Amino acid sequence: MLVLPSLGACKDQTVAAGKNEAASAPKKGAQIGLALTGFNYTDRYIDQFSADGQEGGNLFVSTPGGGGGGSVCCVTYIVGQSAWKAKIRWQSDACTYNNLIDTNGKNLFEIYSYFKEIDVQVDSNIPKNPKYFEVHFFPDGHVEAAIVEHGSRPRLSLSGERENNSPYKQCPHDKRPEK
């Protein structure tokens, strides 16, 4: 099961004090914060990802019972917004380069991360009481995004043993790549 930290800061700010959140759906045009959750179906750990600039943290390789990461606050959603494309950015690969020498004279390496960034069409099937913004990273490189009321189970049931723990390749000329 996914581990979901407390997300009190992501509550719908349009609900009047004293009302039951579950009983009243947010009104059209209201801005609400959705908890950002990621699912990593690739074979490699994703050190960083974001949705519309909101950092989602890191994502371990998803297992049959879990998505790979917890939830963080918040992606802003305007109730009633349609045809929404979200900008998704994630670490897609990395390389290492020797840059430091420790106090014992040993070379230490640093990791340089490569990122991909794409606009993803958010699934238009948005529930009455949206709570989560989910991003799904698939093995073939495509990404899907959806807004849901309840945290989802993984869309793919893949073996946890598929994780690639091999070291990243060395950067060209053992130097930090230029941006």
CB 123 within 8 A of CB 103: no
In the chain, the number of structural domains is 1
Q: Is residue 89 part of a domain?
A: yes
CATH number of the domain at 85, please: 2.60.40
Q: Is residue 17 part of a domain?
A: no
Q: For 31-82, how does the pLDDT look when each residue is reduced to its tens digit (9 = 90+)?
A: 999 999 999 999 999 999 999 999 998 999 887 777 777 888 889 999 888 7
Q: Is residue 77 part of a domain?
A: yes
Listed in sequence order, the residues at least 6 apart from 93 whose beta carbon sits closer than 8 Å to its beta carbon are 44, 113, 114, 168
pLDDT band at 23 (very low <50, low <70, confident <90, very high): low
pTM for this prediction: 0.79
CA distance 122 to 117: 15
Q: Is residue 16 part of a domain?
A: no
Q: Is residue 64 part of a domain?
A: yes
Residue 16: CB atoms within 10 Å: 6
Q: What is the span of the domain harbouring residue 148?
A: 30-94+119-153
